[in-house]
Structure 1
Amino acid sequence: MPENIKIALLINPSRWYTRGILGGIAEYARLQGLWTFYRPLEYREAKAGQQLVEVLKTLRPDGIFMREPPQARAIINMGIPTVCFPYSRETIEGVVNVVTDHEAVGRMTADHLLSLGLSHFAYCGFDDWWWSRRRRDSFCAKVSEVGFEADVYRLPGPKSERTWDKELPHIVNWLRHLPKPVGVMACNDDRGELVIEACKMEGLKVPDEVAVVGVDNDALICDLCSPRLSSVAWTLEKGGYEAAESLDRMIKGQEKDRPTLWIHPTHIVARQSTDVLAMEDLEVAAALRVIRCCGFLNIGVQQVVERTGLSRRALEQRFRKTLGCSIHDEIERVRLELTTQMLAKTQKSVGEIARTLGFPDAAHVSRFFRKAKGISPMMYRRQCQI
């Protein structure tokens, strides 16, 4: 009978991001059935973190998953197959790295806020973290492409001013001077929660004056916010599963290279913090509500026009002036968003998705999706799901 494979799991499960990754690792372990995990529990083993290298030498694990402990280089030098999920730098030499697509998340968030009809934008993150700067730069670049600028929050100089309670007044002051209504991208959900709390202190209405989007889709944090926070979801479970596959191959001597694996954003989980159509043109706002409420009904341009008091030509002109796209473009965008969510989060077949969204058949969905995304629906699903 084969022996169990010992895996050191040096990943704190307190965060939604890491719990998603751990869920993917656990799924792979269940399927192959031979892994035993060691997790240092500092509340039971007070010196486990301080003496991690010594503990690992005694344990002699077959493989290691780690976030990025202070002893990372010493652990790598032990020569044990290792997969790392770095956060203080892009990649770490000598291991398989699992990195997140920060540029894509910035663009996705900008697209979401732009679709609300906003013309003022801002970013609240951490100047001193490279991943936050990456998200900031891609967000600002996307906003700039359509002729707008994004105001960027700057951290207080003294580190003593960066605690939750002391930084809150700085964010309040920043929000106070932003033009309204404004769409704010927060670098993660914690930051999004802080922005919403700052809005409460200043008496700013969310989402009417300040629409807020976070990142990570941490359900607990998003639900603690009032109003509940919209947020970007990731392919966390798939990232964890692929990391486990790679570690298994390394342990078996089947993978000599050290590839870089990716975690991609899938979609934005829209909640009350962005439930707004921030535009002065009430007819365009009414048309947008129809499109978004009837996305499952395969609604056409003429049906949208009939719900307003304008002619088709007049509504098209005002639509382009307000949103920079046609009515048909917005209908297609909403249908693509719904298709994307169903592929990422459900097990519905392409045929079932076609019937749900009013496409003639699965072939139409495939052509529609491939034209927009550049890949087939099933390929996209494989990228998102285990």
Structure 2
Amino acid sequence: MRHWPAGKNMDLPYIATDIRMHAARKVIVVVEASTAYGRGILRGIAKYCHLHGPWLIEMDPWEIYNKELPRMADWQGEGIIARVSSEKVAEQILDSGLPAVTLASDSTKRLGATKKDQWAVIPCVKSNSHAVGVMAAEHFLDRGFRHFAFCGIPYCSWSQKRKESFANRIRQAGYDCDIYPEPRLRRDRLWDREQRSLTDWLAGLPKPVGVLACNDERARYVVAAARIAGLMIPENVAVIGVDNDDLLCDLSNPQLSSIAMNIERAGYEAASLLDRLMAGEPMAGQQISVDPVQVITRQSTNILAIGDRQVAAAIRFIRENAKDPIRVDDVVAAVSASRRLLERRFQKVLARSILKEIQRVRIELAREILIRTDLPVAKVAREAGFSNATHLGVIFKRTVGTTPLAYRKKHRNR
């Protein structure tokens, strides 16, 4: 089994020395390049091919929806990686008899009973939508929100799962979650029709409200509807999307916060699995999980929805100075409050102590540095405000459930 290459330099000499000297495998890839998710999968596949190929890849990255696979008899391919955009494509994959790895899709629900049994053994790449919902909920809860809402897409199981996970985590915290009534008819989902219903829904929500949209594209609709309703973002409505599509997030006004997923790693693992399948490993319903890594905070959620001004000021001080060796007494002094009173207010507003908040902010910073850089753990510890690597390791393991290096290995895309 080939593992994700941690810390490898992707320069040409390295690639040249690692390519296996055999005939190139012929692989069809039907994955869109028009979305951040698709591009991430494609980058992971490309990285695997550079390191362990060569592969001859047949693909049309711009037109994949309702697209049929090429005639297998003419093409003589050896394996398939595909987003199943229709029932027909699913049937073609089964009829080809070739090893395949697919991107999870609702299109296979319409297969007949026999085909469904055959499809059960096809490996797939699947988003961890439960973890996405939990991460978004905790992002809003950490910022002191007390009102929450979800905006999804009808007939998409991944959207439904994100909704359920988000709402369940919010209910566990003791709050309610409003759900946008998604238009069921296709014509009602056109923007010129839907903007009125989405605008009215947002206007009627209690404020300030934190809204999770099922993906970045949907989040942009929420932002647009909020502006039409005359609502300020993030002061009235804070919005977070999923997939961290840099282009969509940066073009949004204000810029959109989003949950980054380890998509590229999943693409690499999909290619690695297909290589093993083409070498004889049986298809047995293997699953590759696309997990959320972190929330990339931009303007759309860059706010504290906290009514207690002293607690809000204390949190702001912690975030601005977490890299420095600040202690609880420094936070108390910064807001001119007694330690006992401020501790009580933290427990009331956030249900955690001042020290726990300092540690939480530092751990989030350490997670970001681990993913974004190759710095050794000792340097990561200093950059995140910890006294040394041992201190970081203890708090990190207690909070995240794994070691810093294991976290980096699991979640890095590059």
Instruction: Provide the TM-score with structure 2 as the length reference.
Output: 0.88
How many residues align? The count is 382
CA contact (8 A) 1:123 1:151 kept: yes
Q: Secondary structure at the match of 2:345?
A: helix
Q: Which residue of 1 aligns with 2:105?
A: 87
Match of 2:131 among 90, 104, 112: 104
Deviation at 1:258, TM superposition (A): 3.8
Q: Which residue of 2 aligns with 1:38?
A: 58
Q: Which residue of 2 aligns with 1:58?
A: 74
Q: Which residue of 2 aligns with 1:359?
A: 386
CA deviation map 1:66-92 (0-9, x unaligned): 011322122222111101011327995
Deviation at 1:346, TM superposition (A): 1.8
C-alpha distance in 2 between matches for 1:93 and 1:235: 25
C-alpha RMSD of matched pairs (Å): 1.9
What amino acid sits opposite 1:332 in the alignment? Answer: Q
Greater CA drift, 83-92 or 198-207 = 83-92
Deviation at 1:147, TM superposition (A): 0.7
Greater CA drift, 348-357 or 359-368 = 359-368
Superposition map of 1:296-375 within 5 A: 296-375=323-402
Greater CA drift, 85-94 or 258-267 = 85-94
The 1:108/1:328 distance shift into structure 2, 3 A limit, reads same
C-alpha distance in 2 between matches for 1:118 and 1:51: 44
Greater CA drift, 79-88 or 252-261 = 252-261
CA deviation map 1:200-253 (0-9, x unaligned): 101100000101000110011111110000000000111011111111111111
Q: Which residue of 1 aligns with 2:277?
A: 250
C-alpha distance in 2 between matches for 1:166 and 1:353: 50
Q: Secondary structure at the match of 2:71?
A: helix
CA contact (8 A) 2:325 2:387 kept: no
- Aligned pair 1:115/2:135, yes or no? no
What amino acid sits opposite 1:212 in the alignment? Answer: V
Q: Secondary structure at the match of 1:180?
A: coil
The 1:144/1:225 distance shift into structure 2, 3 A limit, reads same
Superposition map of 1:58-207 within 5 A: 58-70=74-86, 71-88=89-106, 92-207=119-234
The 1:42/1:132 distance shift into structure 2, 3 A limit, reads closer
Q: Secondary structure at the match of 2:323?
A: helix
CA contact (8 A) 1:246 1:255 kept: no
Q: Percent identity?
A: 38
Q: Which residue of 2 aligns with 1:264?
A: 291
Deviation at 1:51, TM superposition (A): 7.6
CA deviation map 1:87-109 (0-9, x unaligned): 32799523211111000000000
What amino acid sits opposite 2:57 in the alignment? Answer: F
C-alpha distance in 2 between matches for 1:199 and 1:256: 47
C-alpha distance in 2 between matches for 1:16 and 1:373: 27
Instruction: Provide the TM-score with structure 1 as the length reference.
Output: 0.94
CA contact (8 A) 1:76 1:94 kept: no
